[in-house]
Amino acid sequence: MGKIKKSKPNKNKKVLNHDNSDEDEQLCVDTKENAVQTVLDQLQAANVEEKYCGLQTLALLIETSEHLDQVITQGVVKVAAPLLMDAAGSVRNAASGTLRNMSALRMEVCDAMMEQDIMTPLKCYFQEYAQTWTPDVTSKFKDEDIDTFINCTNLLLNLCESSELAIKYLEQYKILDVFPRYLDIGVFGSDTVAAVLQCLFVAIEDNPQAMQRVKNNSEKQLEQLLSMEGSDPSILLIKTLAAGVVINTCGGIITTLPVNFMNEIISILAKTLSMDHRLACNHVSSNVPLINGAGKLETLKGKEAQILDSQLKSVSQMLDAQQRAIEIIANICSCEDSDDSLNGGDSSDSEELEGDMIDNGEESLLVEDKLPPEIMEAFVSLKIFEKISARAQLPAQNVMLILKEYEGSQLVYKKLQTLQTRALLCINNIISTLPIEGLGGVNGVYKIWVDAGKLVFQQNSDNFSLIESATAVMRAALDKIKLRENGNTSECNLFGDMALSDIEVMLIGIRECQMPEIRSNLLRMIGMLALLFVNNLNETTTDVICKITEFILEQAHKENEVWVLAEALDTLIDLYSEDETDEIAAKVKLVDKLTVLAPIIKNKARQQKRLPKEYKVLVSTVVSNLPRFIKYKKGRISCL
C-alpha cells in the first residue's frame, strides 16, 4: 500500500481565542479581503503583541474555507512563515501552531505553502534553533519551546507527505542530521521523540540517500527505542514508529534484517495491534461530559478536566500507534507485491496467468506465496490478520456519538474513522498475500466480503475513503474465492441464499455512486460475483448473471471516465470468456451491445490521454482485446 494522505486534525488550538466576541464581530463586518489585509498588517508590525494577535486571527480565519482561499491568494504564508524565526518565543510558538494547522487541512494548501517559500524559514528554524537547543527544566518557557519544536516537526511532516520538493529540502539542508539528537527520550520526552520518528518514517521512504543517512546517524538510538519496556500507549507508539523507520531504512524490505530482529519488530506491531481500542474508547466516553437539559455541554474543571485530557491523549496515542502498525504491515505486503518477478501486472493480464499463478521458468508460483516463509509464519502465529480485522470495527454507535459531540474528543472520533479505513486497506492487501487457510478458509473470506458489503450498502456514509477501501476489500475477497474454488462454490454453498433483491441493492448503490474509484471497484466486484455463478448454473443463477450483465452494459453507456468504462468492459470479457456462458451471451445480445461500445471506448481513449500509468495500460489492453473478443464470441454463438 502506497502512502495515503491522512486527514490530520488541528491539534494546536491553544493559540486561538474563541471567546473574543469583538474579534468575531469584526470578522463578520469586514470583507474577506479586508480581514486578511488586517492580518497582514499585524504580522508585519514591530510590536510583539500585534504579531501575536495577527497569528491568532489567522488561526481563526483558516478554519473557514472561504477565508482560507483568500489567505492563500493574498500570500499570507510568505509573511507569516518568517515569524518562525522571531526573537519572541511566544510569536514563534503561535506561528508554528498556526502554520502546522494550515498544512493539515488539505494537500493543495501544502502545495501553496511550498510556492510561498515556507521551507526557507522552516529550515532556518531547524538550523539555528534546533541544532543545539535542549529543554531547560527550570525555565517557565520549557513547554512552549517543546511545543514549538513539535509543531515545526509536524509542519515539516505534512509538507513532506504532500511534496517531493520538501523532502529534497530536508536532505539538502541537512535537517536529517539534526533529528538524531532528538531521539533521546530521557532529555526531550516521548512527545518530541514521537514527532521526530513520524517525520523520519515519511521522509526516508523511497529515498535511498536519506535511508543511509538515518541508518548511519540513528541506528543505535532506534535499537534503544525498540528495546524500551512497558505497554503504555506512548511507549508502544514510539516503538511502533521506530520499527517503521528501521524497515524504511532497509528500503521497506524487512527480510534484509536479521531473522531475530525481524521477529522482534513484527512482535512489536502485534503487541500494538492487540490493544483493545473499542474498550479504551468506551471507558473514556463514560467520562466525557454530556449535553444537559438546556442543550449545552457541561464543562469539566480542575482535576476532572486534567484526568479526561490525560485519558484522551492516551487513547489518541493508541490509535496513532495502531494506524502506523497497520500501514507498516500493509507496506510489507505490498512491497513484496511490487516485485516484477511475482507481479502479474494489471488485471487485464490475468487471463494469461491461469489461476493467478506466475510461471518463473521452472514452476508455477501462487500469488499468495509471495511473502517469504518467515514473515508468513510470523503473521499466522501472531494472528496479525485477526488483529487488523478487529481494528476495522468501530466502537458502539452511542460511544461514537458521545466522542463526536464533545469538542475535546472530536480528534479521537476522527482518528477512529481513519483507523477503520486504514485497516480495510490493509485487509485488501493481506487477502491476496496470505493463504486462504490463514483467513479462515473460504467461509472466512466470504464473511469478510459480507462485512465489507454492510459498510458499503447498509450505511448512508459520506466517508468516501471508507467506502472505497471497503469496496476494494469486497473485490479482493471475491477474487480470492474465485482463485481458490476456481469459480465452483456449490460445495460450500456460499451464495445459496442470495436473491435478485440482494443483487438489486448492490446495483442501486453503484448507480448512485459519484466516485469513479468506488464505481470501478463495485463494477469489477459484481462481475466477479457473476463469474462465481457460471460453474453453478441454474435458473436463479442465470437470472442473476443476466441482471448483472445488463446492468454493467447500461452503466458502460453512461460512464464518462474512460478507465472506469474499460474496467466495466474488461469485467464482461472475463465473465464471458467461459464457454459455458455462450447461451447467456446470446440471451442478453452481448455481441451486438459490445459492438456498439467498441468505438465509444476508442473515442474516449483518444480524448482522455492524461491518465495514470496503470489506467493507461488497462484502457489500451481493453481497446485492443475487445474486437478480438467480439469476433471470438460471435463465432461461438453462431454455432448454438
- Segment 329-355 mean pLDDT: 52
535: three-class secondary structure by DSSP: coil
3-state DSSP of 215-242:
HHHHHHHHHHHHCCCCCCHHHHHHHHHH
Lowest mean pLDDT among 323-337, 401-415, 486-500: 486-500
Higher-pLDDT residue of 461 and 62 is: 62
Q: Which residue carries 518467515 as its cell?
A: 374
Quote the CA–CA distance of 241 and 198 in Å, as a whole number.
Answer: 7
Task: Count the Cβ atoms, other than its own, within 10 Å of residue 482.
Answer: 19
- Taking phi over 0 as left and psi of -120 to 50 as alpha, with beta for the rest, 316 belongs to alpha
Give the Cα separation of 460 and 626 in Å (integer).
36
Q: Record the cell numbers describing residue 276, joined without a space.
A: 483493545
Quote the pLDDT of residue 134.
85
| Better-predicted residue by pLDDT, 91 or 296 | 91
Selection from 393, 479, 378, 353 nearest residue 428 by Cα: 479
Q: Are 284 and 311 in contact (CB under 8 A)?
A: yes
- Rounded CA gap, 589 and 597, in Å? 13
The answer on pLDDT for 8 being more than 50 is: no
Q: Does 33 or 563 have the greater pLDDT score?
A: 563
* Cβ–Cβ < 8 Å for 305, 338: no
Decide if 71 contacts 108 (C-beta within 8 A): no
Confidence label for 432 from pLDDT (cuts 50, 70 and 90): confident
Give per-residue pLDDT as tens, 535-553.
788 888 888 899 999 999 9
Phi, psi of 591 (to 5 degrees): -60, -45
- How far from chain centre, in Å, is Cα 279? 24
Q: Average the pLDDT over each of 27-41, 67-81, 511-525 and give the range with the smallest value.
A: 27-41
Nearest to residue 191, comparing CAs of 248, 134, 231, 153? 153
Q: How far apart are CA 7 and CA 440, in angstroms?
A: 33
pLDDT for 345 = 40
Q: Return d(Cα 456, Cα 460) in angstroms, integer.
A: 8
Torsion of CA 345, 350, 352, 357, to 10 degrees: 90
The DSSP result for 380-401, as a single string, is: HHTTHHHHHHHHTSPPPHHHHH
CATH class of 1-162: mainly alpha
Confidence of residue 155 (pLDDT cuts 50, 70, 90): very high
Instruction: Give the residues across from 364 on adjacent strands.
Output: 359
Length of the chain: 640
Judge whether residue 5 has pLDDT over 50: no
Q: Is the pLDDT of residue 359 over 70?
A: no
Q: What is the pLDDT of residue 485?
A: 56
508-523 pLDDT tens trace: 888 888 899 999 999 9
Q: What is the pLDDT of residue 363?
A: 43
Task: Please report, as a single letter, which amino acid is at residue 189.
Answer: G
The radius of gyration of the chain's CA atoms, rounded to the nearest angstrom, is 27
Query: Whose grid coordinates read 490493509?
Result: 426
Rounded-to-integer distance, Cα 343 and Cα 82, Å = 48
Mean pLDDT of 196-202: 93
- What pLDDT does residue 347 have? 41
How confident is the model over 209-227, as a mean pLDDT? 89
* 406-410: average pLDDT: 89
Q: If we measure between CA atoms, which residue out of 274, 230, 288, 223 comes closest to residue 249?
A: 223
State how far the Cα of 428 lies from the Cα of 1, in Å rounded to an integer.
9
Distance from C-alpha of 245 to C-alpha of 180, rounded to nearest angstrom: 12
Residue 447 neighbours by CB under 8 Å, 6+ apart: 440
Residue 319 has pLDDT above 70, yes or no: yes
Query: What confidence tier does 335 reach under pLDDT thresholds 50, 70, 90?
Result: low
pLDDT confidence of 369, banded at 50, 70, 90? low
pLDDT bucket at 31, cuts 50 / 70 / 90: low
pLDDT tens profile 75-125:
999 999 999 999 999 999 999 999 999 999 888 999 999 999 999 999 999
Residue-level pLDDT at 9 = 37
Q: How many CA atoms lie within 13 A of 574 on its CB side?
A: 30
Confidence of residue 341 (pLDDT cuts 50, 70, 90): very low
Kindly report the average pLDDT of the chain as a whole number.
85
pLDDT band at 496 (very low <50, low <70, confident <90, very high): low
Residue reference for cell 474465492: 481
Residues 106-125 as b/e (b if ≥16 CB within 10 A, e otherwise) read beebbebbbebebbebbbeb
Q: Which residue has the higher pLDDT, 223 or 16?
A: 223
* Res 11 pLDDT > 60: no
> Percent helix, strand and coil across the chain, each rounded to 5?
75, 0, 25
DSSP string, 340-375: TTT---SGGGGGGSGGGEEE-SSSEEEGGG-S-HHH
Q: CB of 495 within 8 A of CB of 535?
A: no
- Residue 32 is predicted with a pLDDT of 65
Of all residues in the chain, the percent with pLDDT exceeding 70 is 86
Q: Which of 229-243, 292-306, 457-471, 606-620 has the lowest mean pLDDT?
A: 292-306
Confidence of residue 499 (pLDDT cuts 50, 70, 90): low
Distance between CA 230 and CA 271 in Å, rounded? Answer: 11
What pLDDT, on a 0 to 100 scale, did the predictor assign at position 399?
Answer: 95
Relative to beta strand 364-366, strand 357-359 is antiparallel
Mean pLDDT for 248-270 is: 91
Q: How many CB atoms lie within 10 A of CB 545?
A: 26
Residue whose C-alpha cell is 442470495: 498
User: Is the dihedral angle over the CA atoms 180, 182, 187, 190 positive or is it negative?
Assistant: negative
User: Which residues on adjacent β-strands are paired with residue 291?
Assistant: 297
